[in-house]
DNA sequence: AATATAAGGTGTCGAAATTACACCATTAAA
DNA sequence: TTTAATGGTGTAATTTCGACACCTTATATT
């Protein structure tokens, strides 16, 4: 039996592709929908922009409502405006991405009834998503892959203190290729925006690695004219 | 006396930043508005997206109606969604750019009454534009400056057959800096996507230069993984 | 015919960046 | 004490980058 849905004329909406990095794996945030159409499907967090809020504000609000996450640095990357994207009417969607540290403890949980749940899912082997969200995800993933080379986005995904191996495995996850350890370290250190700490990794069952911090001020100075960080 | 304008709830619109290159100078296409608000002001060509057309289709249609130009390869670059952008109501605008050859003969002329005229204007010394169009232009100019390094956009601005000096002066106009002639030629030729023709420039009062063509197929092969074309 | 003008076209060398490549050191657990 | 796992390091060959100057050719001018 087919459910008859109401229709509407035309709305703006926001969809969010939120990347996290955890246990050497790149993940994105998905929700389980609780409303028709695509009820029970997995989808990107997204909803409708209000009359009196900018799209940037809307992106923050919507992400919060659907996942409980706040104060991310979200950036728009593409607008999807095909006519038949949404079964109920005309929807033009501005897609945003953000990068975030997943600390084991950080729980994600919808604040509204619109989503049943929210959770992290590895970017490899994503299931089919609602609407054209698979396409939106792909577009976003390609964007950050490219931006990795000229913006310090890697550091938003890592904890404040990180090891060079963690940094490298993040690059490898995003670029989807192996990098040479010695060359990677040489290059990263040569930029001068990594601050070596007097601290070591803890709780590992092998030789502990030195911890580093990302020095935002040095970065800003050096990269006024953007460069490629990795080949 | 203040004119009272009608208001509306919310619309999508398109604005176009169309770059052309002529006589060694980079230009964009402006219209003179024929309607309130901002009647008689200069503005980017732009208008409202219809219910039943995709934003890409709308961009093509709107550009045609306001300038008579057709079949450009337009690409979206940013969406502007501040609340107070438009005095009459909420407007979210997807901005597109395109690059085009200005052949002396190619006239631009509005097809609708919405614009009084359309014309090319050098990107240096642009006047203040209607709405937030100055900001839109700046954002677009920065985008193509960056894309110049990894997309063959230069070739869309040049005539089909061009000299290396023309190519270089286009790069110089977009990047806004002088480049070394020998290094530039060495690098461009080394990529292998320029086809040397058996023809020379005509009608110049000095030694005629060889003409080249851009070889799209070779380009596509070489640049599957994008590179920087110029430092 | 001679000259002036304007742009076309070309090569080298040093510096810097990139790449390929392998082994010993350290720590914790078994 | 041994094993397992990762940390951490240097060099040499190659490639790319950037700086740099002069002769050639075509047309216009006298």
* Beta-sheet strands, E only, within chain A: 8-22, 25-33, 42-43, 46-48, 75-80, 89-101, 115-122, 194-200, 210-214
Of B52, B55, B226, the CB nearest to A92: B55
* A86 neighbourhood in chain B, CB within 8 Å: none
Q: What pLDDT is recorded for position B58?
A: 96
Task: Report the length, in residues, of chain B.
Answer: 231
- pLDDT averaged over chain A? 89
Of the candidates A22, A15, A183, A9, the residue with the CA atom closest to the CA atom of residue A100: A22
**A:93-132 residues touching chain B, CB 8 A cutoff:** 94
Q: What pLDDT is recorded for position A227?
A: 47
CA A206 → C1' C28, Å? Answer: 5
Q: Cβ separation of B81 and A52 shorter than 8 Å?
A: no
* A53 neighbourhood in chain B, CB within 8 Å: 83
Whether A228 shows a pLDDT value over 60: the answer reads no
Q: At what angle do helices A164-175 and A181-191 cross, to 10 degrees?
A: 110
* B94 neighbourhood in chain A, CB within 8 Å: 79, 81, 92
- Residue B192, Ramachandran bin (φ over 0: left; ψ between -120 and 50: alpha; else beta): left
Q: Cβ separation of B10 and A12 shorter than 8 Å?
A: yes
Of A56, A92, A228, the CB nearest to B12: A92
Q: What pLDDT is recorded for position B143?
A: 92
Q: What pLDDT is recorded for position B36?
A: 87
Lowest mean pLDDT across A2-11, A140-149, B48-57: A2-11
Give CA–CA dist B114/A124, Å, rounded. 49
Q: What pLDDT is recorded for position A4?
A: 64
pLDDT exceeding 70 applies to what percent of chain A?
Answer: 90
Instruction: For residue A204, give the nucleotide whose C1' atom is nearest its CA.
Output: C28
Give CA–CA dist B59/A200, Å, rounded. 55
Instruction: For residue A207, give the nucleotide whose C1' atom is nearest its CA.
Output: C27
- CB-contacts to strand D (7 A): A 163-165, 181-183, 185-186, 200, 206-210; B 180-183, 187, 204-208, 228, 231
Of the candidates A139, A134, A100, the residue with the CA atom closest to the CA atom of residue A120: A100
**Residue from A51, A60, A79 whose CB has the most chain B CBs within 10 Å, to mutate:** A79
The answer to whether residue B230 neighbours chain A at the CB level (below 8 Å) is no
Query: For A161-191, how does the pLDDT look when each residue is reduced to its tens digit (9 = 90+)?
Result: 999 999 999 999 999 899 999 999 999 999 8
Residue B189 approaches strand C within 7 Å at CB:
no
Q: pLDDT category, B20, cuts 50, 70, 90? A: very high
Between A223 and A129, the more confident residue is A129
pLDDT exceeding 90 applies to what percent of chain B?
Answer: 66
Which strand D bases fall within 7 angstroms of a protein CB? Answer: 4-11, 17-21, 24-28
A11 phi and psi angles, rounded to 5 deg: -140, 160
* A228 neighbourhood in chain B, CB within 8 Å: 228
Three-class SS state of B61: helix
CB A98 within 8 A of CB A75: yes
Q: What pLDDT is recorded for position A226?
A: 52
pTM: 0.91
Of A53, A82, A146, the CB nearest to B83: A53
Give CA–CA dist B102/B105, Å, rounded. 8
Of B53, B83, B228, the CB nearest to A54: B83
The answer to whether residue B9 neighbours chain A at the CB level (below 8 Å) is yes
* DSSP helix, strand, coil percent of chain B (3-state; round to 5): 25, 30, 45
In angstroms, what is the C-alpha Rg of chain B?
19
Residue A187 approaches strand C within 7 Å at CB:
yes
Q: What is the number of other CB atoms lying within 10 angstroms of the CB of residue B28?
A: 20
pLDDT exceeding 70 applies to what percent of chain B?
Answer: 90
Whether A213 shows a pLDDT value over 90: the answer reads yes
* B15 neighbourhood in chain A, CB within 8 Å: none
CA B198 → C1' D25, Å? Answer: 17
**DSSP class of residue B149?**
T
């Amino acid at each position: 039996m087919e459910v008859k849905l109401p229709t509407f004329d035309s709305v703006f909406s926001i969809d969010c592709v939120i990347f996290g990095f955890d246990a050497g794996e790149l993940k994105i945030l998905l929700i389980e929908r609780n409303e028709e159409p695509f009820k029970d499907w997995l989808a990107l967090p997204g909803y409708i922009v209000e009359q009196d809020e900018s799209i940037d504000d809307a992106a923050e609000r919507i992400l919060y409502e659907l996942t409980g996450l706040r104060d991310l640095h979200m950036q728009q990357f593409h607008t999807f405006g095909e006519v038949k994207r949404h079964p109920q009417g005309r929807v033009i969607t501005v897609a945003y991405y953000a990068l975030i540290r997943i600390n084991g403890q950080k729980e994600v949980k919808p604040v509204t009834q619109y989503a049943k749940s929210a959770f992290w899912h590895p970017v490899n082997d994503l299931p089919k998503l609602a609407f054209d969200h698979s396409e939106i995800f792909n577009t976003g993933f390609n964007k950050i892959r490219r931006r990795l080379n000229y913006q310090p986005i890697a550091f938003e995904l890592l904890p404040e203190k990180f090891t060079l191996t963690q940094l490298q495995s993040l690059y490898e996850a995003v670029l989807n290729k192996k990098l040479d350890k010695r060359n990677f370290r040489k290059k990263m250190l040569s930029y001068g925006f990594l601050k070596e700490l007097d601290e070591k990794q803890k709780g590992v069952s092998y030789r502990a690695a030195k911890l580093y911090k990302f020095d935002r001020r040095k970065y800003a100075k050096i990269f006024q004219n953007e460069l490629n960080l990795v080949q």
